[in-house]
């Protein structure tokens, strides 16, 4: 028997009004996640450039995510960077005409990710240009693809630090670590 009406549960969500406090909280959470991803993409790109490569792979992204997750909440610029990310999100949301339309939400998400990728690419280029001229980040051997600068060494050795990262007293960090571990484990199963 074919039911006359299929219910997805979306009606309850569509009819639920999101108040300003909830909207602010959701936007900040989205901003935190996007900021973490942006920083990890930039870091992964910079490490690959230091190694003389031009393609960021899954391993570099995973290492950068672990490194950034451990340092993220201790960043001196976190509040300012989060405010900028939230402003970008709010601007993008304001530009959307109909967020109840699935296609509009998809386009909205695609545009946000595209902006983040553009920002990450620019930051990697800027970093690479400044590293080429100043040499402040340490030597970049052209042949053996290994860089001995502090940033590359920290990312290269992140697995040991990750395994020892104590998150028992911080539920947000514990949540982040658990989910990154799950994501990386699922990636290995593929």
Q: How far apart are CA 149 and CA 138, in angstroms?
A: 5
Q: Per-residue pLDDT tens for 157-181? A: 999 999 999 999 999 999 999 999 9
DSSP 148: -
Question: Which pLDDT tens digit goes with each residue over 42-100?
Answer: 999 999 988 888 888 888 989 999 999 999 999 999 999 999 988 888 887 776 544 44
Q: What is the domain partition of the chain in residue ranges?
A: 20-161+168-189
- Rounded Cα distance between 66 and 47, Å, is 14
Specify burial of residue 171 (Cβ count, 10 A radius: 0-12, 13-18, 19+). Answer: exposed
Helix (H) or strand (E) segment spanning residue 33: helix 20-50
**According to the model, what pLDDT value does residue 129 have?**
57
CA–CA dist 171, 178 (Å, integer): 10
Share of the chain above pLDDT 90, in %: 31
CA distance 110 to 116: 10
pLDDT for the residue 190: 57
Please report where in the chains the tokens 């290994």 appear, as a residue.
Answer: 146
CA distance 38 to 86: 13
Question: For the chain, what is the radius of gyration of the CA atoms?
Answer: 20
Q: Are 99 and 93 in contact (CB under 8 A)?
A: yes
Question: Could you give the CA distance from residue 140 to residue 102 in angstroms, rounded to a whole number?
Answer: 46
pTM, two decimal places = 0.69
The set of residues, in sequence order, having a beta carbon less than 8 Å from that of 156 and lying 6+ positions away, is 47, 63
């Amino acid at each position: 028997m074919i039911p006359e009406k299929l219910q997805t549960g979306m009606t309850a969500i569509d009819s639920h009004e999101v108040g300003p406090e909830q909207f602010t909280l959701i936007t900040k959470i989205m901003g935190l996640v996007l900021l973490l991803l942006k920083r990890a993409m930039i870091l992964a790109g910079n490490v690959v450039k230091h190694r003389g490569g031009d393609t960021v792979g899954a391993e570099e992204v995973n290492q950068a995510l672990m490194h950034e997750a451990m340092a993220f909440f201790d960043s001196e610029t976190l509040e300012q960077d989060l405010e900028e990310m939230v402003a970008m999100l709010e601007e993008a949301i304001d530009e959307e005409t109909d967020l109840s339309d699935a296609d509009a939400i998809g386009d909205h998400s695609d545009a946000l990710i595209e902006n983040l990728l553009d920002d990450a690419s620019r930051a990697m280029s800027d970093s690479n240009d400044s590293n080429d001229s100043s040499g402040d980040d340490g030597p970049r051997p052209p042949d053996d693809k290994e860089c001995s600068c502090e940033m590359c060494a920290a990312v290269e050795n992140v697995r040991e630090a990750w395994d020892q990262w104590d998150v028992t007293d911080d539920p947000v960090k514990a949540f982040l670590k658990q989910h990154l571990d799950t994501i990386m484990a699922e990636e290995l199963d593929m």
